[in-house]
Amino acid sequence: MSDILLSVAGLGKRFGGFVALSDFDLHVKQGDRLGLIGPNGSGKSTLVNCLCGTLRNDTGQVTFSGQKLDGLSAHQRTRRGLSRSFQLPRPFPTLTLADNVRVPILYAADIKPDRFRANPRQRCEELLDMVGLLPKANRLPTDLTQIEMRKLELARAMASEPRLLIADEAMAGLSHQEVDDILALLMKLNAQGVTIIMIEHIMRAVLAFSQRLVVLVAGRKIADGNPTDVIRQPDVVAAYLGS
Amino acid sequence: MRNLRFVLLGLMVAGATFAVARLIDNAYVFFAGYVVLQYVVLATSWNILGGYTGYVNFGTAAFFALGAYTTVVLHKTVPLLPLPAMMVVGGLISGTVGLGMGYLTLRLRGTFFSIATLAMAVVAQTLITNWNFVGGSRGAYIIRPANSPLFAGDYIEYLFVVMLVLAVISVSISRAIQHSRLGYGFSAIRDDEQAAEASGVPTLRLKLIATALSGGLMGMAGAPLPYYVTYLDPASGFSLSYAVNTIAMPLIGGTATWLGPVIGAILLGTLQQVATVTISSALSLLLVGLLLVGFVIAAPKGIVGWFKR
Amino acid sequence: MDLSIDLLGNALVSGLLLGGFYAAVTIGVSISFGMLDIVNIAHPAFIILGSYTAYIANSAFGFDPILSSIVLLPAFYLLGVAIYFVYDVSFERRGDASIRGLAFFFGLLFITEVTLVLVFGVDYRLVDAPYVGLSFHFGVIDLPLRLLVPFLVSLALIGTLQLFMSYTFIGRAIQAVAQDPMALRLMGADPSRIKRIAFGISIASASIAGAILIIIQPVEPSIARDYIGRIFAICVMGGLGSFAGTVVAAMILGIMESLTSTFYGPSWSPAVAFGFLLITLAVRPAGLFGRR
């Protein structure tokens, strides 16, 4: 019980008449590698947005590290250690790469004074180095390739030193080698103690990464368990073959 | 410590400017200089919310005039209050109004905030126009003292110095913010507010700080106005030319840094003073409008940005 | 007792008529802001331009202001298209729409106002038409034609636009472009072209709105600013992009202003619109009829 980091109970969200998410439950333990899959439109983005505070859920409860997240804004959740990377990278266009990662360092510093206040620039360089972008530290995001932008996105998400990172389709549109790069990066982060929820369509990456797999279809969870078992479930097969 | 050095440098430049103005020994220099300095303050403070944070305030006139009318009220109630004290009160009132308005509208999209600032300017003007204590639509007369209370000279020289000091203060604040944690937060909000939130930036709080600070400085810039013009009525206090100039100057000078608004204010302010005397004030305003549109279309990074290329 | 019911009744009626006129003034922005998401705060300046063109047609050639405004529709349409072109190339394509776009339109507002002052001066201008001085009387209620005719023209304008929006391909494309530009492309329509047409229509409506404005009241360049607040208050209250909402919100505003003016004095009316706007933005930004 004490090592459950994220606990979601009965989460629901609707937009007018459209039910995006209904009755969603989830428990994530510290150190887990969770994979989340589902066809387009199944509610994955809505789920991430509700967890991170960008959207307000209609029903249900989200508890993180023992604290209820109700009513907390996005920045408050980030400061408590719940971080996300955006599906379509959203770097700050007029800031250099170094400054891009500096922003979360400066603003997460409220909660974690010691490490960050001392030397933000050093921490910026560490983060960029971790994703291999240090040589481009003083360039603008417009100078980056697709995969470099994804790496920047992850570096920025990691800059606040989160306990839980939601990687939202970080590999979409990348080549085989690039997918492996990102996969290796996420595994390294997990080895350092970060709990990761990977939302992805690229099945080989999901299966290579996840200890546990959750499947979302039409706003409902239809599977939650061991990856090799889950992908053999008839309703999961149907959802994917059907779509 | 770099900030303190900049302030000292600024005060030295201010001192030199004043010495030169005294040497020229023409009252017009002080009158025109006051207006240019006033615009340095207005442009710089507008830019904190506009250029740094990305929220366009069309209601400069409201904050500015609130400062001016606060002085009118204080002049009638506690006439012995020194001008700097009146400025502080004016700044506090404007800042608080900015805070209040921000609280109502900053949770919405930037465009709604901008429209709301226009709205606020008109409401403020209507309220003042209907308030007889400050003269209503007929205006108020303020007697300008003959002599400077601080050094030997005319009162207009004193106003010039006061505005000079305020200019140094506001530019120093702007520069300090630019290089600070607050500055990074503002830039993040301007670039992508949602991503900023996700990065831990308390966007609403920072926007409120920017609005209150910007509004407060504008109020301080407006506070000495009644002594400068000696007759103040709502039509001139709330004139749209304040709003246009305050937006045009940073956009033309460059919105990304503290230097752009200063350059824009000095250039455009001086240009207008010259044009008003040589052509006509209506034409000089037309010129400002054309320059604004021209720069916004052709040189979005302003003069400073052009030199950085 | 008798006197105040009389006063109240007239205030309500003229408020309603005024509200109808306000709807015409706003409908252009309902299109540009509500459907195209372009914050054209210069729209009132184009309306005043419409007033002055009607004034010229009337004073120099003796033409009826409303008829001449209809004749001038193509000119205003082209003006709108030209402005959209500059806006599109300078801002929308660069993805820099917000600050600079707003500053652009603010600059246009200002330039238009100052140019009008330079050309026409600050004197009030009015038009001379047979219906300007007349009034119908129904018991204690007066129906001045200078309010009634604009009211009817306004409803006709909005009705025509609504029919256009609902029953023509371009009209429906305009409604679609705000919600789903991708679907529009798949249907073979170019979103840029559709937006250009829509903005052109938006400015064209200013021609008619300007003509009926100068019938209702004498005009001078700076009154454009009084209308910015009214227009956006109505837009936001009525729900962006909804014509029916615009009409209802406009009438509510007209009545509120009329009542304020009658019972508290005309110097308070500019604050009514803006006060409404601030309250609506604070409480219910989606407006009365809006989505989301």
SS3 C153: helix
Does residue A217 carry a pLDDT above 70? Answer: yes
**B120–C278 CB contact, under 8 Å:** yes
- Is residue A217 one of the residues assigned to a domain? yes
- Is residue B181 one of the residues assigned to a domain? yes
Q: Which two tokens stand for residue A87?
A: 């599906």
Does residue C92 carry a pLDDT above 50? Answer: yes
The predicted structure's pLDDT at residue A243? 44
Say which of C102, C118, C282 has its CB closest to residue B105. C282
Domain count, chain B: 1
Percentage of residues in chain B having pLDDT higher than 70: 99
Task: Determine whether A39 is exposed, middle or buried from the number of CB atoms within 10 Å of its CB (0-12, 13-18, 19+).
Answer: middle
A45 reaches B (C-beta below 8 A): no
The predicted structure's pLDDT at residue A216? 92
Q: How far apart are CA B74 and CA C72, in angstroms?
A: 53
Q: How far apart are CA B17 and CA B259, in angstroms?
A: 18
Q: How far apart are CA A181 and CA A133, in angstroms?
A: 13
CB pairs under 8 A between A and B: 79
Say which of B56, B126, B297 has its CB closest to residue C99. B56
Strands (E) across chain C are located at: 135-138, 141-144
Residue of B nearest to A166 (CA): B198
**C104–B296 CB contact, under 8 Å:** yes
Amino acid at C243: F
Write down which chains contact chain C via at least 3 CB pairs under 8 A: B
Which residues from C are below 8 Å from B255, CB to CB? 99
The predicted structure's pLDDT at residue C291? 42
The predicted structure's pLDDT at residue B41? 97
**B199–A107 CB contact, under 8 Å:** yes
Residue of A nearest to B186 (CA): A103
Q: How far apart are CA A212 and CA A207, in angstroms?
A: 9
pLDDT in tens, B238-288: 888 898 899 999 999 999 899 999 999 999 999 888 887 787 777 888 888
A73 reaches B (C-beta below 8 A): yes
Percentage of residues in chain C having pLDDT higher than 90: 37
Q: Which helix (H) or strand (E) holds C216?
A: helix C191-216
Cβ within 8 Å of residue B145, ≥6 positions away? B155, B227
- Is residue B309 one of the residues assigned to a domain? no
Which residues from A are below 8 Å from B201, CB to CB? 75, 103, 107
- Please calculate the CA angle A78-B108-A14 and round it to the nearest 5 degrees: 70
Distance from CA of B108 to the nearest CA of A (A): 14
Which residues from A are below 8 Å from B185, CB to CB? 103, 106-107
Mean per-residue pLDDT, C248-267 = 88
- Is residue B307 one of the residues assigned to a domain? no
Question: In terms of Cα–Cα distance, which of A136, A130, A132, A131 is closest to A98?
Answer: A136
Model confidence at C286, pLDDT cuts 50, 70, 90, reads: low
Phi, psi of A3, deg, nearest 5: -100, 15
Model confidence at C100, pLDDT cuts 50, 70, 90, reads: confident
**B127–C229 CB contact, under 8 Å:** no
pLDDT in tens, B175-227: 999 989 999 999 999 999 999 999 999 999 999 999 999 999 999 999 999 99
Q: How far apart are CA C191 and CA C181, in angstroms?
A: 6
Q: How far apart are CA B266 and CA B39, in angstroms?
A: 8
Distance from CA of B166 to the nearest CA of A (A): 30
**B198–A94 CB contact, under 8 Å:** no
- Is residue A191 one of the residues assigned to a domain? yes
Q: DSSP letter string over A49-95?
A: HHHHTSS--SEEEEEETTEE-TT--HHHHHHTTEEEE-SS----TTS
Chain B contact probe: residue of C48, C114, C240 with most B CBs at under 10 A? C114
Query: Are B254 and B304 within 8 A, CB to CB?
Result: yes
Residue of C nearest to B115 (CA): C232
The predicted structure's pLDDT at residue C1? 45
Mean per-residue pLDDT, B280-303 = 86
Phi, psi of A173, deg, nearest 5: 75, 10
A142 reaches B (C-beta below 8 A): no
Question: Which range of residues forms the domain containing residue B68?
Answer: 2-302
Mean per-residue pLDDT, B155-171 = 94
The predicted structure's pLDDT at residue B51? 92
Say which of A75, A94, A95 has its CB closest to residue B202. A75
**C285–B108 CB contact, under 8 Å:** yes
Distance from CA of C31 to the nearest CA of B (A): 16
- Is residue A188 one of the residues assigned to a domain? yes
Q: Which two tokens stand for residue C48?
A: 């005043």
- Range list of H helices, chain A: 44-52, 74-79, 97-108, 113-118, 120-130, 146-158, 176-191, 203-209, 227-230, 234-242
Which residues from C are below 8 Å from B53, CB to CB? none
**C274–B120 CB contact, under 8 Å:** yes
**C277–B119 CB contact, under 8 Å:** yes
**B104–C282 CB contact, under 8 Å:** yes
The predicted structure's pLDDT at residue C186? 76
Domain count, chain A: 1
Residue of C nearest to B299 (CA): C90
Residue of A nearest to B180 (CA): A106
Say which of A53, A54, A106 has its CB closest to residue B184. A106
**What is the overall mean pLDDT for chain C?**
85
Question: Which range of residues forms the domain containing residue A199?
Answer: 4-92+163-242
- How far is the CA of C6 from the CAs of C3, C147, C188, C253, C260, in angstroms? 5, 18, 58, 21, 15
Say which of C229, C232, C267 has its CB closest to residue B130. C267
pLDDT in tens, A11-69: 999 988 888 999 999 999 999 999 999 988 888 989 999 999 988 889 999 999 889 99
Q: Which two tokens stand for residue B7?
A: 């302030």
The predicted structure's pLDDT at residue B126? 85
B85 reaches C (C-beta below 8 A): no
Q: DSSP letter string over B66-97?
A: HHHHHHHHHHHH-TTS-HHHHHHHHHHHHHHH
pLDDT in tens, B106-131: 877 777 888 888 878 888 888 898 88
Domain ranges of chain C: 25-223
Percentage of residues in chain B having pLDDT higher than 90: 53
Distance from CA of B70 to the nearest CA of A (A): 37
Distance from CA of B30 to the nearest CA of C (A): 28
Q: Are strands A164-168 and A195-199 parallel, antiparallel or unpaired?
A: parallel
Assembly ipTM:
0.90
- Higher-confidence position of C271 and A194: A194
CB pairs under 8 A between B and C: 128
**A94–B201 CB contact, under 8 Å:** no
CATH assignment at residue A56: 3.40.50.300
- Is residue A235 one of the residues assigned to a domain? yes
Q: Which two tokens stand for residue C183?
A: 């679907």
A104 reaches B (C-beta below 8 A): yes
The predicted structure's pLDDT at residue A62? 94
Does residue A121 carry a pLDDT above 80? Answer: yes
CATH assignment at residue B233: 1.10.3470
- Range list of H helices, C62-142: 65-71, 73-87, 97-120
The predicted structure's pLDDT at residue A9? 93
SS3 C203: helix
SS3 A19: strand
- Is residue A33 one of the residues assigned to a domain? yes
Task: Determine whether C209 is exposed, middle or buried from the number of CB atoms within 10 Å of its CB (0-12, 13-18, 19+).
Answer: buried
The predicted structure's pLDDT at residue A113? 57
The predicted structure's pLDDT at residue C3? 58
Mean per-residue pLDDT, B41-47 = 97
Q: How far apart are CA C129 and CA B51, in angstroms?
A: 49
Amino acid at A85: S
- Higher-confidence position of C242 and A151: A151
pLDDT in tens, A70-110: 889 999 999 999 999 998 899 999 999 999 999 999 897 55
Residue of C nearest to B53 (CA): C99
Does residue B74 carry a pLDDT above 60? Answer: yes
Say which of A54, A84, A92 has its CB closest to residue B187. A92
**What is the overall mean pLDDT for chain A?**
89
